[in-house]
Amino acid sequence: MSALSAQGLTARYPGQPVSRPALLDVDLDLERGERLLLLGPNGAGKSTFIRVFAGLMHAARGKALVAGHPARAAREMVGVVSHATFLYDELTAAENLRFYGQLYGVPDVAERGAALLERVGLTHAAEVQVGRLSRGQQQRVAIARALLHDPPVLLLDEPDTGLDAGAFGPLEELTTSGERTVVLTTHNLSNGLRLGTRAAVLSRGRLVHQQPGLSSVDGVPLGHLLEELARA
């Protein structure tokens, strides 16, 4: 069984024409431990793909399955890092992790939170209110939050936006350890190539290329292909 499977997946926001949904008939399977770099120009549907698998948005048609379960019923298997940090500004970093850990039923939540804050290099800021942290530090807390329940599937929507360069190492290590299945988007192609094991390209909601490896698509270097799609 695939760790993650899109089958004829179609998703539409209210107000979008039926003929032009955010995602259209996407078929894609990831095996356990595969890390997909999801590419495509702005508006291609990358965040929508992640939202559906995060259980935050309904499929209009088709299926989004996590280990065979509908994504909306599999949220405890999924960790999400996106532009929205899902953190409470008035709580400290440690309190945020404790709050979410309890929500997820994480055992030994204080120790787990502390260990993750250490891994993202934020032990010194554990007792600081999140609203007082820099954007990069907040993003580090968000990464720790997403990993609290040790999810087998990680969805990373531009996780490196606003992240200082020094934090990419821990993100890479946490992402690539433990056979996690990952879907990743990023504006930074070199980060994407470091984290991903394969790639797919969305354009106007359709999956236009799938690539088992990461250097080129049909002989065209990925960077060139992206520039081409951005102009289309």
Ligand X SMILES: Nc1ncnc2c1ncn2[C@@H]1O[C@H](COP(=O)(O)OP(=O)(O)O)[C@@H](O)[C@H]1O
* Distance in angstroms (rounded) separating the CA atoms of residues 152 and 144: 14
Judged by beta carbon distances under 5 to 8 A according to partner kind, the member of Mg ion, ligand X, none in contact with residue 86 is none
The torsion angles phi and psi of 107, rounded to 5 degrees, stand at: -70, 155
Interface residue with ligand X among 8, 13, 76, 223 (CB under 6 A) is 13
CA 198/CA 183 separation, integer angstroms? 10
- Smallest distance, Å, CB 7 to ligand X? 19
With CB under 6 A as the contact rule, which of the stretches 42-50, 88-96, 121-129, 163-171 interacts with ligand X?
42-50
For strands 206-211 and 198-203, give the pairing.
antiparallel
Phi, then psi, of 61 in degrees rounded to 5: -155, 155
**Residues 148-177 as x/- pattern, contact with ligand X by CB under 6 A:** ------------------------------
Q: Which does 21 bind (CB under 5 to 8 A by kind): ligand X, Mg ion, none?
A: none
Choose the one of Mg ion, ligand X, none that binds residue 45, judging by a C-beta under 5 to 8 angstroms depending on kind.
ligand X
Residue type, 212: P
Both tokens of residue 17? 């024409």
Shortest distance (Å) from residue 88 CB to ligand X: 23
Residue with tokens 């996590």: 66
> Which strand (E) or helix (H) includes residue 231?
helix 222-231
In angstroms, the CA 218 to CA 147 distance is 35
Among 48, 82, 85, 181, binds ligand X (CB under 6 A): 48
Tokens 């204080």 locate to 110
One of 3, 4, 6, 40 touching ligand X (CB under 6 A): 40
**Residue 44 interaction partner, one of ligand X, Mg ion, none, beta carbon < 5-8 Å per kind:** ligand X
Pick one of 12, 37, 44, 47: the residue that binds Mg ion (CB under 5 A).
47
Q: Which of 9, 22, 24, 26 binds ligand X (CB under 6 A)?
A: 22
Q: Which two tokens stand for residue 111?
A: 């120790």
